[in-house]
Amino acid sequence: MFYDNHNFEGLKFFSEIKTHPTVAKPCEKFLDIIKQLKTPPTQRNIVVAEIGLGYGATALQVLKLLDAGDMYCGFDFEDKVKDLTDDLQARDFGIKCQVVLSGNSRNQWDSYNWNLSELIFRMREQKLAGIFDAVYLDGAHTLLHDGLAVCLLKELIKGGGYLILDDLFWSYSTSTIEKGLGWDKFMSKEQADDKQIFRVQELFLTNDSNWERLSSPKEWRGIFRKRLH
């Protein structure tokens, strides 16, 4: 496993990487895009976002890649954001960039979408045409949450910026990790069987001429780039 040689003893958040194999590997595509943005001649200060932190497998590698002029924005439940904040304060990982973490409650209808919507209002006040250079969406994996997240992110991503959708072909009913979490109380069997991130992609990105698809249709991750006008 990617983090086998890492010692996270004494850290509440990162130590969970060892016990959750499904979220123990960083998203290489996200790292590749960030490396590309940080390589001459495109090299510049960038702002990137990860929606859904898991236990920081991707976040830690992203944070290590970014420079002092860069910013990492992470979104998840507020208790997870607190645990990550505590770990980053408890140990020096050699992180140079600015880290901005936004948490939401675990109340039933709450999600990262609230914080993303707040960000849009602040962005509009500042008359900016986008904030993020690259976003990795890896959150709830439902049409309900991630359909709205993609709509919000389409405005928050700068022209020329990237959006990665994870788990295009994942479904609740076939997932081993979601078993026993009671998804049957929240969605129909048809919805649990559906690949909801693929549905989101087809609804909001595939036919949008402002977005170019960079990934092949069969790839597990959908990679899109917002066209420059």
- For the purposes of burial, counting CB atoms within 10 Å of the CB of 6, is it exposed (0-12), middle (13-18) or buried (19 or more)? middle
Q: Shortest Cβ distance from residue 43 to ligand SAM (Å)?
A: 24
Distance CA 70, CA 59 (A): 14
DSSP-derived secondary structure for 101-157: EEEE--STT--HHHHHHHHHHHHHHTT-S--EEEEEE-S--SHHHHHHHHHHHHHHE
Q: Shortest Cβ distance from residue 131 to ligand SAM (Å)?
A: 19
Q: Shortest Cβ distance from residue 94 to ligand SAM (Å)?
A: 19
80 binds ligand SAM (CB under 6 A): yes
Q: Find the residue with minimal CB distance to ligand SAM.
A: 54
How many CB atoms within 10 Å of residue 85? Answer: 15
131 binds ligand SAM (CB under 6 A): no
- Which of 17, 58, 11 has the alpha carbon at shortest distance from 164? 58
188 backbone φψ class: left, alpha, beta (φ>0; ψ -120 to 50) = beta
Q: Which of 62, 139, 196, 224 binds ligand SAM (CB under 6 A)?
A: 139
Of the listed pieces 32-40, 48-56, 85-93, 121-129, which binds ligand SAM according to CB under 6 A?
48-56
> Toward ligand SAM, which CB reaches closer, 34 or 57?
57
> CB of 167 within 8 A of CB of 197?
yes
50 binds ligand SAM (CB under 6 A): yes
> CB of 77 within 8 A of CB of 145?
no
Q: Shortest Cβ distance from residue 29 to ligand SAM (Å)?
A: 11
134 binds ligand SAM (CB under 6 A): no
Of the listed pieces 87-95, 118-126, 136-144, 155-163, which binds ligand SAM according to CB under 6 A?
136-144
Binding residues vs ligand SAM (CB under 6 A): 23, 27, 50, 52-54, 57-58, 76-77, 80, 104, 111-112, 138-140, 145
